Amino acid sequence: NAGVTQTPKFQVLKTGQSMTLQCAQDMNHEYMSWYRQDPGMGLRLIHYSVGAGITDQGEVPNGYNVSRSTTEDFPLRLLSAAPSQTSVYFCASSYGWSLKHNEQFFGPGTRLTVL
């Protein structure tokens, strides 16, 4: 299994540009989520999905859109990039939607810089 994959690894955008961060998993996991990590900080949840066709907002959803048309893919869209969105973005998946006792598998991250 490839696990959780993310593309691109690095991206530089200009303010106002839009782009999509890709995330895919081959473990047939129901639950997928997106986090951002700012320098020296822990991760903060942006959006999550408990299954295909179902998404919900996390702690910091503003400026981001998601959709989940398949079990495998969970893309994150930046609508109009702002410098405050400069961060490292991590995608994660889990077998069950309840995170009480299911471990999350994280991707390698996408480093995004907005100028």
Partner 1 sequence: DAKTTQPNSMESNEEEPVHLPCNHSTISGTDYIHWYRQLPSQGPEYVIHGLTSNVNNRMASLAIAEDRKSSTLILHRATLRDAAVYYCILRDTSGGGADGLTFGKGTHLIIQP
**Residue numbers of the site for partner 1 (CB under 8 A)?**
4, 31, 33, 35, 40-45, 48, 50, 56, 58-59, 90, 92, 97-101, 103-109
CB of 42 to partner 1, least distance (A): 3
Nearest 5°: phi and psi at 102?
-110, 130
How many Å apart are CA 55 and CA 59, to the nearest integer?
Answer: 13
Shortest separation between residue 108's beta carbon and partner 1, angstroms: 6
Rounded to whole angstroms, the maximal C-alpha distance in the chain is: 40
Judged by beta carbon, residue 57 or residue 80, the one nearer partner 1 is 57
- What's the token pair of residue 32? 């997928």
- The nearer residue to partner 1, 18 or 54, going by C-beta atoms, is 54
Measured from the CB of residue 15, what is the shortest distance to partner 1 in angstroms?
Answer: 26
DSSP assignment, residue 43? Answer: E
Please answer whether residues 97 and 31 qualify as being in contact, where contact means their C-beta atoms are separated by less than 8 angstroms.
yes
Structure-block tokens of residue 1 = 């299994």
Residue with smaller CB distance to partner 1, 17 or 111: 111
